[in-house]
Amino acid sequence: MPDTLAAEAPETPGVIARTECRSCGRGELAVFLSLGDMPLPDALVQPEQVAAPEPRYPLDVAFCPNCSLVQILQDVSPEQLFVDNYLYFSSFSTGLLRHSAEHAGALIAERGLGSDSLVVEVASNDGYLLRNFLEAGVPVLGIDPAPQQAAAAAALGVPTLTEFFDADLARRLRSEGKRADVIVANNVMAHTPTLNSFVEGVQILLADDGIATIENTYVKDLVDGCEFDTIYHEHFCYFSCTAVDALARRHGLYLNGVEHFPSLQGGTLRWRLGTRAAQSRSVSEYLEAERLSGLTGVEYYREFGSRVKWIRTELRELLASLRADGKSIAAYGAAAKGSTLVNFVGIGPETVDYVVDRNVHKHGLLMPGTLLPIRDPSVLLETMPDFLLLLAWNYKDEIAEQQAEYLRRGGRFIVPVPRPEIL
Ligand SMILES: [Zn+2]
């Protein structure tokens, strides 16, 4: 596929198509992957709505040659993406709970947090992280626009503002006398269409000697692991250290530390930002490694685009040959990434009987686009499908533990990326 420039992206109703970089504002974005017209990944379908047409939006991924930020070109309104349809509750993942408790404990010890401190979390979800600070007597403030999740957090005693975080909200909080010793923002910086306002807000709200820790999937892990299914309309940006460093500096913040969690969400980085420059060796090492491995040039991403198309072909052939042999197939994980995968590859009810998910709020609904029914995982042992396609491949080990009995009875897992294979 020849690269196209963002300026040539077609107009679609209900979508703003970007022609300028979300970070540095320059044009000349190079598109290296087009995933086609996709439904919103969390817009699960009610059974009575099956006949109604679903809105679909183009999904093009581009690289900024100026600041190295990888980003999608299309903006669907955040209200539509995160409020109406959002059913993700962080506390359903035991691995994430463990990771969060460790992070909170380390911050409390390292920063000497106590009853006169303030920890603010952006995208605090159901209070999965802040509860740890609360239990240690550290005052907290959660910010999350999703009402169901905010209500769940409030039930735990975590005060939560049901709003989107940006520079305006940060100014308001600061005018009320609030300054944060620690700001935590996990898996949210990629979710904001107004990236610059978000980072400006962090700078405004942070106390003079405060730190912000920001976690997001690492674009290098995404590309190297061919995790194209983490690309969807909720994720506007895909960050490298090079891109974060440039973004932070433009807002008077410094990238002072980097930590890597290879098994978290398919590969996550934790960036540590401060109002003063105190760069650890890890930062310079990451920046140098990114330059050497090509992350700062578009060729690296073009090659990724080719591999994504190869996976689609291979997975289609694998599933078709299993069905031709009379095998039954179910899938695991009705999350957004699963929606990208089944819609891009084209996996519908003719191939997969149903999808299971532990989130009880999703049971009885259907996946957007391909309309696969979502059921409770207990149905696996009742129906014993021959194969289980792991759409939530990032939780492979956790699923293997949960589904030990399914595996013991002869069920097999299919992992779709980085290359489709039967385990
Ligand atoms: Zn840029």
Phi-psi group of 336: left, alpha or beta (phi > 0 → left; psi -120 to 50 → alpha; rest → beta): alpha
Tokens of 37: 């017209």
Spacing, Cα 302 to ligand 1 middle (Å): 17
Closest CA to 36 of 339, 322, 248, 397: 339
Spacing, Cα 27 to ligand 1 middle (Å): 8
Spacing, Cα 106 to ligand 1 middle (Å): 34
How far apart CA 324 and CA 422 sit, in angstroms, is 16
Closest CA to 64 of 32, 103, 105, 110: 32
How far apart CA 173 and CA 132 sit, in angstroms, is 23
Say what the pLDDT of residue 4 is. 45
- Sequence ranges of the domains in the chain: 4-74, 90-278, 300-422
Spacing, Cα 10 to ligand 1 middle (Å): 21
Spacing, Cα 66 to ligand 1 middle (Å): 5
Spacing, Cα 373 to ligand 1 middle (Å): 40
What are the backbone dihedrals phi and psi of residue 250, each rounded to the nearest 5 degrees, phi first?
A: -65, -20
Spacing, Cα 251 to ligand 1 middle (Å): 14
Spacing, Cα 14 to ligand 1 middle (Å): 24
Spacing, Cα 247 to ligand 1 middle (Å): 9
Say what the pLDDT of residue 96 is. 81
Cβ atoms < 10 Å from Cβ of 309: 13
Question: Please, what's the b/e burial string for 233-262 (b: 16 or more CB within 10 A of its CB; e: otherwise)?
Answer: bbbbbbbbbbbbbbbbeebebbbbbbeebe
Spacing, Cα 246 to ligand 1 middle (Å): 9
Spacing, Cα 417 to ligand 1 middle (Å): 29
Mean pLDDT per block of 10 residues along the chain (423 residues) reads 44 79 96 95 89 90 98 85 59 79 96 97 94 97 91 93 96 98 96 94 97 97 94 94 98 96 88 92 96 97 97 97 98 94 96 96 95 97 98 91 97 96 95
Type of residue at 126: D
Spacing, Cα 242 to ligand 1 middle (Å): 11
Spacing, Cα 68 to ligand 1 middle (Å): 6
For tokens 């910086």, the residue is 189
Spacing, Cα 160 to ligand 1 middle (Å): 33
Please tell me the class of the 300-422 domain: alpha beta
Say what the pLDDT of residue 97 is. 87
Spacing, Cα 250 to ligand 1 middle (Å): 12
Say what the pLDDT of residue 1 is. 39
Helix (H, G, I), strand (E, B) or coil at 332: strand
Spacing, Cα 69 to ligand 1 middle (Å): 6
Tokens of 204: 């405004």
What are the backbone dihedrals phi and psi of residue 270, each rounded to the nearest 5 degrees, phi first?
A: -110, 115
Query: Hey, which residues does 260 pair with through a beta bridge?
Result: 269
Spacing, Cα 240 to ligand 1 middle (Å): 12
90-278: which CATH architecture? Answer: 3-Layer(aba) Sandwich (3.40)
Type of residue at 367: M
- Residues around ion ligand 1, judged by CB within 5 A, are 21, 23-24, 64, 66-67, 69
How far apart CA 345 and CA 368 sit, in angstroms, is 14
Identical topology for domains 90-278 and 300-422: yes
Q: Please answer whether residues 412 and 422 qualify as being in contact, where contact means their C-beta atoms are separated by less than 8 angstroms.
A: yes
Spacing, Cα 73 to ligand 1 middle (Å): 12
Say what the pLDDT of residue 92 is. 63
